Amino acid sequence: MSKLLNNVCSELQRLPGVGRRTALRLAMHILRMDVEMADSLSSSIARFRHDIRYCQSCNNLSDEALCPICSDSRRDRSVICIVEQVGDLLSIENTGQYHGLYHVLGGVISPMQGIGPSDLKIDLLCDKLLTGEVKEVIIAISTSVEGETTMFYLMSRLKAFPDVRVTTIARGVGFGDELEYVDELTITHALLNRRPL
Amino acid sequence: MSKLLNNVCSELQRLPGVGRRTALRLAMHILRMDVEMADSLSSSIARFRHDIRYCQSCNNLSDEALCPICSDSRRDRSVICIVEQVGDLLSIENTGQYHGLYHVLGGVISPMQGIGPSDLKIDLLCDKLLTGEVKEVIIAISTSVEGETTMFYLMSRLKAFPDVRVTTIARGVGFGDELEYVDELTITHALLNRRPL
């Protein structure tokens, strides 16, 4: 096997979900690309890894010291939505319905993976709350065991700010979900939190 | 969204099977990589696209003018196995059971995709057969409509070399395949070509 092909396949296999076969398929696709396109793919990876920064205020990925959201004067600075990771932030942004700020924890407390509270950007969050500008904190963390642990820890830290309202996103049966396939906990929760029509 | 992140996601989405979500997941993975590892991934892509060549003899991917197989003096030069693409060659090589040479067509005849006989490396194959060194040609092309068309065309070209034995790989029920789920054509073929035990 060609060394160049072998090399690119090994490198591609470091990516999640990419095995030997997929790596080969990707390599063959790269081969059919224009040289400029392949160069552009290659350089975008290197530039992303080298130049990306974390927003000093919310820990979102950013090109500058402050991310586009934190530096946008039209955003409502009285609400902060706490998410685990950048992907969650992007999902909420895609709805176009949230106009406050975010705070990206960068993970959840997970003793199994050696992630403790000090590994998350919780101090950075508390610093922002100290200014008194924030009126509400929305917790949008997943309901896994690690997520719940993180939520309890966050609640204990947020007690230091009694003027800040703490909320969490609604849990229930999703739009388009078929009741038949929804888990019992979600259905129980959706029943208990039923709303008048 | 950060421009660097947006850029790398757009570039990754050019790869087959990579949508917006997967691109984001890959980008997050690249972010967690060491800088050296990300650089190595990035440069392997560019080097592969720039420096890869096609073997002058068999059209396999190669770092040199001749691929490692064609330049290996231990390979049996009297047999040539014809395959559609490099991936097929690698699958056969992985068995460790074939010691002859290969010839990579680079595709199959497909009027739908505008691929005619002249787009495949068939002349290159005939040139090799002219030397009289080759005693057998094994056709290992897929049994799709395009594959069959290619096979018929190949047969007509190979008639010019009556001393060359033309064979094709055996078709039948694969090891581990459950008969229940094997298609009728394969089962019919496997029955007609049954062997004494």
The amino acid at residue B42 is S
- Full-model pTM: 0.79
Nearest to A8 among B11, B48, B90 (CB): B48
Residue A66 distance to chain B (closest CA, Å): 10
Domain assignment present for residue B194? The answer is no
Show residues of chain A in contact with B28, CB under 8 Å. 85-87
> How many residues in chain A?
197
Domain assignment present for residue B189? The answer is no
Structure tokens at A87: 């992907």
Residues A79 and A164 in one domain: yes
Closest residue on chain B to A94 (Cα)? B1
Domain assignment present for residue A31? The answer is yes
Q: Can you point out the beta strands (E) in chain B?
A: 53-54, 61-62, 76-83, 100-104, 136-139, 165-168
The amino acid at residue B34 is D
Residue B55 has pLDDT above 90, yes or no: yes
User: B44 lies in which domain range?
Assistant: 7-51
A4-26 tens-digit pLDDT:
999 999 999 999 999 999 999 99
Show residues of chain A in contact with B47, CB under 8 Å. 4, 7-8
Residues A158 and A98 in one domain: yes
Domain assignment present for residue B174? The answer is no
3-state DSSP of chain A: CCHHHHHHHHHHCCCCCCCHHHHHHHHHHHHHCCHHHHHHHHHHHHHHHHHCEECCCCCCEECCCCCCCCCCCCCEEEEEEEECCHHHHHHHHHHCCCCEEEEECCCCCEHHHCECHHHCCHHHHHHHHHCCCCCEEEECCCCCHHHHHHHHHHHHHHCCCCCCEEEECCCCCCCCCCHHHCCHHHHHHHHHCCCCC
Strand partners, B82: B103, B139
C-alpha span between B114 and B118 (Å, rounded): 11
Cβ-defined contact of B45 to A38 (cutoff 8 Å): yes
Residues A89 and A18 in one domain: no
Question: Which of B29, B36, B48, B60 best probes binding to A when mutated, by most A CB atoms within 10 angstroms?
Answer: B48
Q: Provide mean pLDDT across the span B126-133.
A: 92
Residues A17 and A80 in one domain: no
Cβ-defined contact of B49 to A35 (cutoff 8 Å): yes
Mean pLDDT computed over every residue of chain B:
92
Confidence band for A74, pLDDT divided at 50, 70 and 90: very high
Do residues A104 and A59 make contact, with C-beta atoms less than 8 angstroms apart? yes
Residues B156 and B78 in one domain: yes
Q: Output the pLDDT for position B48.
A: 95
Residues A17 and A100 in one domain: no
Domain assignment present for residue A40? The answer is yes
B189 phi/psi in degrees, rounded to 5: -60, -40
Residue A159 distance to chain B (closest CA, Å): 32
Q: Output the pLDDT for position B76.
A: 96
Q: Output the pLDDT for position A40.
A: 96
Residues A85 and A8 in one domain: no
Residue B149 has pLDDT above 90, yes or no: yes
Mean pLDDT computed over every residue of chain A:
92
Residues B133 and B80 in one domain: yes
Q: Output the pLDDT for position A180.
A: 87
Q: Provide mean pLDDT across the span A93-119.
A: 92
Cβ-defined contact of B46 to A39 (cutoff 8 Å): yes
Residues A97 and A25 in one domain: no
Domain assignment present for residue A114? The answer is yes
Q: Output the pLDDT for position B73.
A: 95
CATH of the domain at A36: 1.10.8.420
Residues B83 and B156 in one domain: yes
Residues B155 and B83 in one domain: yes
Q: Provide mean pLDDT across the span B80-88.
A: 93
Strand partners, A193: none
Q: Find the range with the poorest average confidence among A86-100, A141-155, A175-189.
A: A175-189
Domain assignment present for residue A138? The answer is yes
Please give the tally of structural domains in chain A: 2
ipTM: 0.81
Strand partners, B62: B53
Residues B47 and B98 in one domain: no
Do residues A69 and A102 make contact, with C-beta atoms less than 8 angstroms apart? yes
Domain assignment present for residue A149? The answer is yes
CATH of the domain at B100: 3.40.1360.10
Q: Output the pLDDT for position A2.
A: 87
Confidence band for A47, pLDDT divided at 50, 70 and 90: very high
C-alpha span between B109 and B145 (Å, rounded): 9
Q: Output the pLDDT for position B3.
A: 92
Q: When comparing pLDDT for A171 and B39, which is higher?
A: B39
